């Protein structure tokens, strides 16, 4: 078993690299994936998104260590164990990230990853469909493998949310992935013709049609490194351990949880931790597994006085109807993730770009689908985008079959509490606007009684949930940065022939959901791996609020 390029993981970045590295037919590419097929309604039906992330057949089933600042709760940390990786079990929300996120990457040592450099890769990967809801096509791609669309926004609550935002004094945006992220507007989804348009559907399936690209199911134990160079991968398959040889490079794209785990099992990581587990140190890289970040969010829920929410389908008969319509026609409620309105806002004057994200849903339910409010309601998922808290991934033992220890250290920075309290009060203000007058019932969660800082903090401790955006554990940076794991060409520092390209390389978490920047990382890494010239930099300037130093409200004069 051998190939020019071995890609570990068939997720967002791995699938994109399989497609690009095999594109010219000159190199053999082998993708290693532990999970099985993504065929079936639970994965392919957008409306069923709460199911696959709770099914052990599709999900690694990771959970955190007890989180000390969240009442020692263990939080779920789903990661896709299936063709397409987490793009096959995620919420299908498409957010590029803000221009300033990538400029920050560049400033922190990821040279060549500024907004001007990554925008052309976003445009290359996209096939954008605006659905008549506004936006500027000149900022978007129209011929890439990844279809990006918008839901029909038929439920009046979607527009009520946007109108309420405007009434509360905030900006509107026709396309948060275009020139202007800030404001209220339509949300985008990786859905095409009623199906989840995962990285598997967009990139991996077309790649596997080529004679020079293949995928095998196996469990990766470690990367084989000989005389400072990665030469292959040790895997378990059918009860046997075998080695697959890489003629050119091994590329890790196994997620921000599994990529650092595999690096450490291979002898790359903090020397003291490796020695503790009896692992021979090949490259002492302090940053492996560190710098772990995520987005936390709260669900602010309001009862709805009109029976127009998705609750009317929240029963066996309703779900059956929605499922049958989708199975036979790929239309109806099953053909959308139901996140069809969004907002990106700045929390205070002096903040130059948004640091709060909203997903709006015309139902009051938990993300995992486990608990719906009794009766009609609607909710906003809200959370700060750039928490200063940092966690880590560490090995539980030297046994590859043991899940790693995951500690996000959520809410460990005092600013987190102030930011979350602001998010709750801001959401209440938005829900109190006239646009919601025809629909607004009692506040379900947190509830009218929860008002003081202490009461809000208690609610946050008990109810904050992960938005499932882990990243940062193999940080990209300058070779001289002791915490950097990969250089700006995604090469592991201190080992030849080995790269990492997935959300683990992000120096800092980006605004919004991470599927889009993960795919972009795979797209750009492919050009580095092939030694190609980078796509020409863009000179487009994103919109920043002209009065950002003085106000968070709409710029009336613009």
Q: Which helix (H) or strand (E) holds 261?
A: helix 255-265
Q: Write down the residue that tokens 């037919």 correspond to.
A: 25
Which two tokens mark 240? 């046997």
Asked if residue 8 belongs to a known ligand binding site, the reply is yes
- 223, containing H or E segment: strand 219-226
Annotated ligand binding at 30? The verdict is: yes
Widest distance between CA atoms in the chain:
70
Q: Tokens 């052990």 — which residue?
A: 56
Q: Is 172 annotated as a binding residue?
A: no
User: Is 10 annotated in some ligand binding site?
Assistant: yes
Contact indicator for 197, 93 with CB cutoff of 8 Å: no
CA dihedral 31, 35, 38, 41 (to 10 degrees): -170
Question: What is the C-alpha to C-alpha distance for residues 264 and 274, in angstroms, rounded to an integer?
Answer: 7
DSSP classification of residue 64: P
18 labelled ligand-binding: yes
Is residue 6 marked as binding? yes
Q: Is 48 annotated as a binding residue?
A: no
Cα distances (angstroms) measured from residue 359 to each of 91, 126, 323, 333, 446: 11, 22, 23, 17, 17
Residue 4 assigned as binding residue: yes
| 271 known member of a binding site | no
31 is in an annotated binding site: yes
For 157, other C-beta atoms within 10 Å of its C-beta total: 24
Q: Is 14 annotated as a binding residue?
A: yes
269 assigned binding-site residue: no
Q: What pairs with residue 21 in β-bridges?
A: none
Return all residues near 405 (Cβ < 8 A) that are at least 6 apart: 65, 393, 394, 395, 396
* Residue 119 is assigned to a ligand binding site: no
For the chain, the distance separating the N- and C-terminal CA atoms, rounded to the nearest angstrom, is 61
Burial of 325 (0-12, 13-18, 19+ CB in 10 A): middle
Please, where are the H alpha helices in 266-384?
Answer: 271-276, 316-329
Q: Is 20 marked as binding a ligand?
A: yes
351 marked ligand binding residue = no
Residue 103 assigned to a binding site: no
Identify whether 69 is a catalytic site residue: no
The secondary structure of 338-358, three-state, reads CCCEEEEECCCCCCCCCCEEE
Helices of type H across 46-197: 99-107, 115-125, 156-167
Cis, peptide link before residue 169, omega less than 30° from 0: no
The distance of Cα 58 from the centroid of its chain, to the nearest Å, equals: 17
**CB burial of residue 333 (10 Å; 0-12, 13-18, 19+):** buried
Whether residue 558 contacts residue 546, with contact meaning beta carbons closer than 8 Å, is answered with yes
Residue 95 labelled as part of a binding site: no
458 is in an annotated binding site: no
387 marked ligand binding residue: no
Residue 389 assigned as binding residue: no
Helix (H) or strand (E) holding 453: helix 453-463
Query: Was 28 annotated as part of a binding site?
Result: yes
Annotated binding residue at 409?
no
Q: Which of 98, 104, 469, 545 is catalytic?
A: 469
What is residue 313's DSSP assignment?
A: G
> Is-contact 292 276, C-beta < 8 A?
no
Annotated ligand binding at 25? The verdict is yes
**90 a known binding residue?**
yes
Q: What is the DSSP string of 490-541?
A: -BBTT-BTEEE-SGGG-SSPPSS-SHHHHHHHHHHHHHHHTTPPPPPPP---
On whether 322 is known to bind a ligand per the annotation, the reply is no
Q: Is 12 assigned a ligand-binding role in the annotation?
A: yes
Nearest to 474 by CA among 493, 448, 461: 493
Are 298 and 423 spatial neighbours (Cβ–Cβ below 8 Å)?
Answer: yes
Q: What single-letter DSSP state applies at residue 411?
A: T
Radius of gyration of the chain (CA): 23
**Two tokens at 126?**
């996209």
Residues acting as catalytic residues:
469
- Which residues make up each annotated binding site for FAD? 4-33, 82, 90-93, 220
- Which residues make up each annotated binding site? 4-33, 82, 90-93, 220
């Amino acid at each position: 078993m051998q190939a020019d390029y071995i890609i570990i993981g068939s997720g967002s970045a791995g699938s994109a690299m399989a497609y690009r590295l095999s594109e010219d037919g000159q190199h053999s590419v082998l993708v290693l994936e532990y999970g099985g097929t993504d065929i079936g309604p639970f994965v392919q039906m957008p409306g069923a998104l709460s199911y696959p992330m709770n099914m052990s057949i599709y999900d690694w089933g990771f959970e955190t260590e007890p989180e000390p600042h969240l009442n020692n709760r263990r939080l779920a940390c789903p990661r896709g164990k299936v063709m397409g990786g987490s793009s096959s079990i995620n919420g299908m929300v498409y957010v590029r990230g803000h221009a300033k996120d990538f400029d920050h990457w560049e400033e922190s040592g990821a040279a060549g990853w500024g907004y001007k450099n990554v925008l052309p890769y976003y445009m290359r990967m996209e096939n954008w469909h605006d659905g008549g809801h506004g936006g500027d096509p000149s900022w978007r791609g129209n011929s890439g493998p990844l279809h990006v669309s918008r839901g029909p926004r038929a439920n009046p609550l979607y527009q009520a949310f946007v109108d309420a935002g405007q009434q509360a004094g905030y900006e509107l945006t026709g396309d948060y992935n275009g020139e202007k992220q800030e404001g209220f507007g339509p949300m985008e989804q990786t859905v095409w013709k009623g199906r989840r348009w995962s990285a598997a559907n967009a990139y991996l399936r077309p790649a596997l049609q080529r004679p020079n690209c293949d995928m095998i199911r196996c469990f990766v134990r470690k990367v084989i490194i000989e005389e400072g160079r990665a030469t292959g991968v040790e895997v378990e398959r059918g009860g046997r351990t075998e080695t697959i040889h890489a003629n050119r490079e091994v590329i890790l794209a196994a997620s921000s949880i599994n990529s650092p785990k595999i690096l450490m099992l291979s002898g790359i990581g903090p020397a003291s931790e490796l020695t503790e587990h009896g692992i021979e140190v090949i490259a002492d890289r302090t940053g492996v597994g560190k710098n772990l970040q995520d987005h936390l969010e709260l669900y602010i829920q309001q009862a709805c006085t009109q029976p127009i929410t998705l609750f009317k389908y929240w029963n066996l008969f309703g779900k059956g109807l929605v499922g049958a319509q989708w199975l036979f026609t790929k239309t109806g409620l099953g053909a959308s993730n139901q996140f069809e309105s969004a907002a990106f806002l700045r929390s205070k004057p002096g903040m130059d770009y948004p640091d709060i994200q909203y997903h709006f849903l015309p139902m009051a339910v938990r993300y995992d689908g486990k608990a719906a409010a009794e009766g009609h309601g609607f909710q906003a998922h809200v959370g700060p985008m750039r928490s200063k808290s940092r966690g880590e991934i560490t090995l539980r033992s030297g046994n590859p079959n043991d899940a790693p220890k995951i500690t996000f250290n959520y809410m460990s920075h005092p600013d987190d509490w102030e930011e979350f309290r602001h998010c709750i009060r801001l959401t209440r203000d938005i829900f109190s606007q006239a646009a919601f007058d025809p629909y607004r019932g009692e506040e379900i969660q947190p509830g009218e009684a929860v008002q003081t800082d202490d009461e809000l903090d208690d609610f946050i401790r008990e109810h904050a949930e992960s938005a499932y955006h882990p990243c940062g554990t193999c940080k990209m940076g300058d070779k001289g940065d002791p915490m950097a794991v990969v250089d700006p060409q995604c090469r592991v520092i201190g080992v030849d022939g080995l790269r990492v390209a997935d959300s683990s390389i992000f120096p800092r978490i980006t605004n919004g959901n991470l599927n889009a920047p993960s795919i972009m990382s795979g797209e750009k890494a492919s050009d580095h791996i092939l030694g190609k010239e980078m796509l020409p930099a863009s000179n487009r300037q994103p919109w920043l609020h002209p009065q950002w130093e003085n106000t968070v409200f709409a710029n009336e004069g613009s």
